[in-house]
Amino acid sequence: MSDLENAELWELAYDLDPYNADKCAEVDPHLANKIEDINDLSQIYYYLCYGSVQKNLPATRNKVNQLFLEELKKGEGIDWFKFRRFYDWLGTDIKQQLAEKWLDDDESAADTVWVVNTTDFTSEIGIKILEKLTKIYKKRKSKQNIHLIETIFVSLDKDFINDASKILASSTPAVAASLLRRSDIDEKHTLKGLKALSKLSKQRDVEIKIDFDMLQHLGPKGRLDAMKQLMGMFDKYYKWQQQYNTQDNRYYYRRRKPKERKYDLPFKEVPSKDDVEKFLFPCSLKYNDEVVAMMERYNELVNLKGGK
Statement to judge: residues 137 and 230 lie in one domain: no
Number of domains composing the chain:
3
**How does residue 307 score in pLDDT terms, banded at 50, 70 and 90?**
very low
> Pick from 89, 111, 133: which residue ends a domain?
89
Q: pLDDT tens digits, residue range 230-239?
A: 998 888 888 7
Statement to judge: residues 137 and 36 lie in one domain: no
**How does residue 107 score in pLDDT terms, banded at 50, 70 and 90?**
low
Residue 75 CB-density burial (10 A; 0-12 exposed, 13-18 middle, 19+ buried): exposed
Q: What per-residue confidence (pLDDT) applies to 289?
A: 94
CA–CA separation, 168 vs 253, rounded Å? 37
Residue 104 CB-density burial (10 A; 0-12 exposed, 13-18 middle, 19+ buried): exposed
Most confident of 29-33, 72-76, 124-128, 200-204: 29-33
CA–CA separation, 229 vs 154, rounded Å? 23
Q: Work out whether the CA dihedral 23, 28, 34, 37 comes out positive or negative.
A: positive
Nearest to 31 by CA among 5, 2, 49: 5
**How does residue 71 score in pLDDT terms, banded at 50, 70 and 90?**
confident
> Pick from 89, 104, 136: which residue ends a domain?
89
Nearest to 152 by CA among 178, 190, 174: 178
Q: pLDDT tens digits, residue range 82-104?
A: 888 888 898 888 888 888 888 88
Residue 1 has pLDDT above 70, yes or no: no
Nearest to 59 by CA among 16, 119, 6: 16
* Residues of the chain above pLDDT 90, percent: 46
Cβ-contact 152, 126 below 8 angstroms: yes
Residue 293 has pLDDT above 90, yes or no: yes
CA–CA separation, 156 vs 174, rounded Å? 19
Statement to judge: residues 226 and 305 lie in one domain: yes
**How does residue 261 score in pLDDT terms, banded at 50, 70 and 90?**
low
Q: What is the mean pLDDT of residues 183-200?
A: 93
Q: What is the pTM for the complete model shown?
A: 0.78
* 245 vs 277, higher pLDDT: 277
* 32 vs 111, higher pLDDT: 32
Statement to judge: residues 107 and 77 lie in one domain: no
Residue 247 has pLDDT above 60, yes or no: no
Statement to judge: residues 81 and 102 lie in one domain: no
> Pick from 174, 205, 236: which residue ends a domain?
205
Nearest to 155 by CA among 173, 139, 178, 136: 178
Give the range of the structural domain holding residue 158, as residue numbers without chain letter.
94-205
